[in-house]
Structure 1
């Protein structure tokens, strides 16, 4: 496909995985996850997807895998409120040093056991993980020491993914738009960008070409946390991130043309932008023709040779989110693949 198309990452967990999570049997969970990963990549392949993920079948959430099960955490961390009234809460770091308990290379290896299609791996960003550090500090472990450890661990995470055979690595940055709700002055957003760039600057230009940033206003239980924040307030700072690709939620935007104009004005000269053409929070499955039209509209604003498509977000960032079925998720993915191909044909770039 001349216009690349990629998933964001997460998919609803299989029934076996959900049951195993409730059962508390580690061996049963490992077996269920391995089967779920195999099923996931097979279902991806049926859609014709040129890039697959493991569907995050073995992750508790998109960004919790590095610290899940750590003994230096308390449960009363930052609370993330969603528009429908439900919340998610991060833990709070209680002592240093900060070390990952799990690295994402294991997810790459698990997926590659079952497929020869290129595998994309989503990883937690330093900016999201920085929210684990408490505002009043930690005795004997200053914030700067924590951030140094965090960037070291994040670099190890990404390099491990590439060594394991990942085709691309994607950092989640849904906290970017949320930060503008928490701090309209943009100071927090710019701190996030600077921290993530500390990580990205450790990679060569060739390596960064395979590292992307995904941003969205949250996607959990058919709700978002910051869709009411003006995208135009985020995008100029977002594009200061030194990444090779940007995956942008767009299908759920009320005025996509306005967003695309801002993107066109600020997109770095060598980066590719993947525009969201399916909305995981909408239970309706988009048609291939609807996706085609969204791609053609994006091509009115952006060079086709720097354009790609994606879903607005993952379909189940948290393991317990069952608001979308696997059937609907893969139907939307198929619509994205088929619609992108229709657009490529119409644009003459097959």
Structure 2
């Protein structure tokens, strides 16, 4: 798949052949997750250019020199920059969901990018004839349509990727950027009713790219109280890679409210050592001391390779960690009498 993506970028593989390979990879991912006993599947984002840029594929009004995201190991990722409006998604996440659902009868969770991440596309200098306010209005409409399309297509749940939340506190320690992110995301989320919000969730992590992070050094205590102000029913929280997970669990416990569920990270995708099922069990049991079991779930800390050129984690290693998560969660459930 990685070779095919490189060949396609160089013009040596046509779009039809690439699509065929991506569909095969999606089908294999779903089948493998099903064989591991995962109760809810994901497509592994096999067909996305990246978890953040999928809506932009084919958008003509972009320049390459957008916001730069620095990682702890020194490498960077750079977002594109918007050069004109109106802003419109070119690809909706529901297209990936529909493709995935053709290959399985099990529930499928669909990931979408949070509007706060795409708000970073607008440049510091205003675009002539297209104000930041007009852009944010268009962005909110497009993000709503992206989420609604997934719900209408039968997603079990829709997860907003919000890795920029923790990063924002590194770039702006005052927290005003984070406040703006929360307000923008809630302006979209509040367009959905209570039943729909119960199927919506948000994921937070300190990034995970080429075995490095962009904001692990930012204290979770600065983020989590604001994160839990988001109007969703599910929170997917990186935890396994935290230095003091028990402290973080105490913060989460303080933010709990009725009707939400917290999925704690029990595997660390950038650690090459595969967790044992017993380690995962113990992490779940630790979390259960702070979070009522009816409000507790498990997840992986982050994506295993969120960008197509990230080869730091092999497919076999990713599935081994997922197997440990599924098996360890089952052991914990048995220990809790569930």
Q: TM-score higher than 0.5 here?
A: yes
Is it true that 1:121 corresponds to 2:110 in the alignment? yes
Determine the structure 2 residue equivalent to 1:90. Answer: 79
TM value normalised by structure 1: 0.94
Determine the structure 2 residue equivalent to 1:141. Answer: 130
Is it true that 1:294 corresponds to 2:283 in the alignment? yes
> Deviation at 1:24?
4.3
CA-to-aligned-CA distance 1:226-285 (integer Å, 9 cap, x gap): 000000100000000001000000000000010000000012322100000000000111
The answer (yes or no) to whether the contact 1:125–1:154 under 8 Å persists in 2 is yes
- Secondary structure of residue in 1 paired with 2:141: helix
- Alpha-carbon separation, structure 1, partners of 2:219 and 2:86: 37
Give the alignment partner of residue 330 of structure 1, picking from 302, 309, 319.
319
Determine the structure 1 residue equivalent to 2:173. Answer: 184
Give the alignment partner of residue 173 of structure 1, picking from 150, 159, 162.
162
TM value normalised by structure 2: 0.98
Equivalent positions of 1:140-219 (< 5 A) are 140-219=129-208
5+ residue gaps, structure 1, are 1-12
- Alpha-carbon separation, structure 2, partners of 1:27 and 1:21: 13
The answer (yes or no) to whether the contact 2:4–2:13 under 8 Å persists in 1 is no
> Deviation at 1:46?
1.1
Is it true that 1:99 corresponds to 2:77 in the alignment? no
Give the alignment partner of residue 67 of structure 1, picking from 56, 66, 70.
56
RMSD (Å) for aligned C-alpha atoms:
1.1
- Alpha-carbon separation, structure 2, partners of 1:269 and 1:21: 48
Give the alignment partner of residue 101 of structure 2, picking from 101, 106, 112.
112
Determine the structure 2 residue equivalent to 1:346. Answer: 335
The answer (yes or no) to whether the contact 1:249–1:313 under 8 Å persists in 2 is yes
- Alpha-carbon separation, structure 2, partners of 1:64 and 1:291: 32
Determine the structure 2 residue equivalent to 1:247. Answer: 236
Determine the structure 2 residue equivalent to 1:8. Answer: none
> Deviation at 1:14?
6.2
CA-to-aligned-CA distance 1:126-155 (integer Å, 9 cap, x gap): 100000001111111111110110010011
- Secondary structure of residue in 1 paired with 2:54: coil
Shift in alpha-carbon separation, 1:37–1:217, aligned structure 2, 3 A: same
5+ residue gaps, structure 2, are none
CA-to-aligned-CA distance 1:111-140 (integer Å, 9 cap, x gap): 111101101100011100000001111111
Q: Which has the higher contact order (CA 8 A, sep 6+)?
A: 1
CA-to-aligned-CA distance 1:58-84 (integer Å, 9 cap, x gap): 101101001122110000000000001
Determine the structure 2 residue equivalent to 1:81. Answer: 70
Determine the structure 2 residue equivalent to 1:9. Answer: none
Is it true that 1:258 corresponds to 2:247 in the alignment? yes
> Deviation at 1:18?
5.7
- Alpha-carbon separation, structure 2, partners of 1:271 and 1:239: 10
- Alpha-carbon separation, structure 2, partners of 1:42 and 1:14: 20
Give the alignment partner of residue 53 of structure 1, picking from 32, 42, 49.
42
The answer (yes or no) to whether the contact 1:17–1:36 under 8 Å persists in 2 is no
- Alpha-carbon separation, structure 2, partners of 1:80 and 1:298: 31
The answer (yes or no) to whether the contact 1:20–1:28 under 8 Å persists in 2 is no
Give the alignment partner of residue 315 of structure 1, picking from 297, 304, 311.
304
The answer (yes or no) to whether the contact 1:239–1:268 under 8 Å persists in 2 is no
The answer (yes or no) to whether the contact 1:66–1:103 under 8 Å persists in 2 is yes
Aligned length: 337
Is it true that 1:285 corresponds to 2:303 in the alignment? no
Give the alignment partner of residue 30 of structure 2, picking from 33, 41, 51.
41
Determine the structure 2 residue equivalent to 1:4. Answer: none
> Deviation at 1:195?
0.2
The answer (yes or no) to whether the contact 1:20–1:32 under 8 Å persists in 2 is no
- Alpha-carbon separation, structure 2, partners of 1:156 and 1:228: 35
- Alpha-carbon separation, structure 2, partners of 1:332 and 1:238: 26
- Secondary structure of residue in 2 paired with 1:310: strand
- Secondary structure of residue in 2 paired with 1:66: helix
